[in-house]
């Protein structure tokens, strides 16, 4: 969809008032390339190959900076009731080293900032996007007038409608 080569990412950073460091370019690329909404640690391991010696602090700092700049979103960790995390492998940029547990209560990051829905697997903790066509059909049916009544009655400004379909993926 978008081009995520080093140059356009660098431009993106600059445009948002961030410096174009090797670390941040690599981090944003890794995140944008993934559909799996990786954790900070997964991103750390993903870029550690190319960028020798990057530190976790930098990963967290950079992700926080991206969030503040509105470049990416942070997703809450899944509630961890019951045994929820098996963690299997999957052929994706950031889950390549399919052996490390990457246990449960870590936040996940999302490079797409336009409104969309997520599905979260109870077994693996993985988060995927709902395809836009389906998501839009679902969101479009939320009656705006009810939302507005809610804002009036509760004195609450709704900035974002977070919809998450929680369940279990069938295969495997």
Q: Which residues bind DNA (CB under 7 A)?
A: 14, 18-24, 39-41, 51, 53-58, 60-62, 64-65, 77, 80, 102-107
Structure tokens of 83? Answer: 């045994």
99 binds, among DNA, a copy of itself, none (CB under 5 to 8 A by kind): none
Nearest-CA neighbor of 74 among 102, 106, 27, 42?
Answer: 106
162 binds, among a copy of itself, DNA, none (CB under 5 to 8 A by kind): a copy of itself
**Tokens 């939302």, residue?**
147
160 binds, among a copy of itself, DNA, none (CB under 5 to 8 A by kind): a copy of itself
103 binds a copy of itself (CB under 8 A): no
- CA 48 → CA 1, 43, 113, 120, 161, distances in Å? 26, 8, 25, 27, 35
19 binds a copy of itself (CB under 8 A): no
The strand pairing partners of 119, in sequence order, are: 128, 165
User: Minimal distance in Å, beta carbon 49 to a copy of itself?
Assistant: 27
């Amino acid at each position: 969809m978008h081009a995520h080569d080093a140059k356009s990412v660098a431009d993106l950073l600059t445009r948002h008032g961030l410096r174009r460091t090797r670390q941040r370019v690599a981090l944003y690329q890794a995140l944008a390339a993934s559909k799996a909404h990786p954790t900070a640690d997964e991103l750390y391991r993903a870029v550690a190959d190319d960028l020798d010696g990057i530190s976790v602090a930098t990963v967290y700092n950079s992700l926080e900076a991206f969030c503040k700049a509105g470049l990416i979103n942070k997703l809450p960790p899944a509630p961890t009731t019951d045994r929820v995390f098996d963690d299997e492998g999957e052929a994706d940029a950031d889950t390549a080293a399919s052996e490390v547990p990457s246990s449960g209560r870590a936040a996940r990051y999302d490079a797409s900032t336009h409104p969309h829905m997520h599905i979260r697997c109870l077994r693996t903790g993985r988060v995927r996007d709902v395809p836009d066509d389906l998501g839009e059909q679902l969101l479009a049916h939320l009656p705006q007038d009810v939302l507005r009544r809610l804002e009036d009655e509760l004195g609450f400004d709704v900035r974002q409608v977070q919809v998450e379909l929680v369940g279990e993926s069938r295969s495997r």
